[in-house]
Structure 1
Amino acid sequence: MPTGVALRDARQQLFDAAARVLLRDGASELTSRSVTTEAGVAKGVLHRHFTDFDGFLTELVLDRISQVSAQSAELQHAAGSGTVADNLTNALIRGFDPVMVAIIVLVIARDGLRRRLREAGTSRLPLVGEATALVADYLRAEQHAGRIAQDADIGALAPTLIGAAHLRFTESSDVTADEVRKVVTTVLAGVVRE
């Protein structure tokens, strides 16, 4: 590998390479060598920017969590507009993109990574927990707006939506908006007041 070549954004380049390896080869094939080879950089580049490979993976997941946080703000802003089903359908499709699903598999597969993520303050099951909070916050905002029944159990509805959607996205890479909308409308049947 060439040395002395300045990288524009080494962290993002390595994150993008990890995403490609995860999608193509799966979590079991994600190694520091596979990431640096995919990124076209020397292995030392990863270790210059991260304490070790688990540190890299922790930062990769935390980067995804920050994207979930940004999406949460957008979804909160949508409360009271459009339809609840459409807002949630779009959020779930965007949230469970193939890279997100692959990263969730990675988190589940690596005990040390989950431990580091918990130490960093993430939910017990990183990404899944944050996605559940995103949905719960949105449902509460819609409940406040009167579009979700006041007696709706948000604490049960949010994880049910996330779990059902996650299963759908892990079963197929070609999940349609109509399929996701069906999950949303089924889970929320009887509580939407539009």
Structure 2
Amino acid sequence: MPTGVSLRDAREQLLAAAERVLLHGGPAALTTRAITREAGCAKGVLHRHFTDLDDLLVALVQDRIARLDRQAAILRAGRDPVVPTVAAALTELFGSVALHVVGLIIARDGLRARLRAISPKGVPLLTEAAAMLSGYLAAERDLGRIERSADPDTLAMTLIGTVHLAFAGRDGELPPPADVERLVAGVLAGSLP
């Protein structure tokens, strides 16, 4: 008798199931049993696609980092005012599963060690998000929409830290968009012409 059902795109379904478990139960809830139960498959399916739980979680973090590439393209293509654009990008980042992924990286030593081999500096995902914002701010500086003396790297890291604190510990409740814009405007106040 089969122990599970046939899955299309099993790898993607397992990643999606891991996201749902993480969102609903936090890092401690992430077990191979919980993920395969959520995906509706046998544990053997998970082990056919991933060597172990941390391998699956590395893939989850890498998937979130790849999504930043799409967000960066959206930032580069737009020409809306800087403050609401940055606020929207940070809300997209922290309003999704990314905030939970950061907690996961902090909570799991084995995962963090594996990610260090891929992303040796900073906190994976946050480091790439800061690079995305820095690139956007540098482009805006080149267009004259940010002061020439502005340091995009410092601004990006400050924005990531500030807005991360506004989203952290809210149990799924997002801060009001006006609050996020106010924080972004405060960080960028000395850098806007």
Query: In the aligned structure 2, how far is the partner of 1:34 from the partner of 1:167?
Result: 29
Q: Which residue of 1 aligns with 2:34?
A: 34
- 1:155-181, Cα deviation, whole Å (9 max, x unpaired): 221111000111111132221211110
Structure 1's 124 and 86: CA in aligned 2 closer, same or farther, altered over 3 A?
A: same
Count of residue pairs the alignment pairs up: 191
Q: Which residue of 1 aligns with 2:85?
A: 87
Q: Which residue of 2 aligns with 1:55?
A: 55
Same amino acid, percent of matched pairs: 48
Query: In the aligned structure 2, how far is the partner of 1:17 from the partner of 1:4?
Result: 15
Q: Which residue of 2 aligns with 1:148?
A: 146
Structure 1's 4 and 28: CA in aligned 2 closer, same or farther, altered over 3 A?
A: closer
- 1:28-58, Cα deviation, whole Å (9 max, x unpaired): 1111111111111101111000111111110
Query: In the aligned structure 2, how far is the partner of 1:21 from the partner of 1:4?
Result: 19
Q: Which residue of 2 aligns with 1:20?
A: 20
Instruction: Read off the aligned partner of 1:129 and give its amino acid letter.
Output: T
Q: Which residue of 2 aligns with 1:134?
A: 132
Q: Which residue of 1 aligns with 2:72?
A: 72
Query: In the aligned structure 2, how far is the partner of 1:46 from the partner of 1:104?
Result: 23
Gaps of 5+ in 1: none
Query: In the aligned structure 1, how far is the partner of 2:76 from the partner of 2:120?
Result: 21
Structure 1's 186 and 2: CA in aligned 2 closer, same or farther, altered over 3 A?
A: farther
Instruction: Read off the aligned partner of 1:20 and give its amino acid letter.
Output: R
Contact kept, 8 Å, 2:163 with 2:180, in 1: the verdict is yes
Q: Which residue of 1 aligns with 2:104?
A: 106
Contact kept, 8 Å, 1:2 with 1:41, in 2: the verdict is no
| TM value normalised by structure 2 | 0.93
Gaps of 5+ in 2: none
| TM value normalised by structure 1 | 0.93
Contact kept, 8 Å, 2:131 with 2:153, in 1: the verdict is no
Asked if residue 176 in structure 1 is aligned to residue 176 in structure 2, the reply is yes
Alpha-carbon RMSD across the aligned residues, in angstroms, is: 1.6
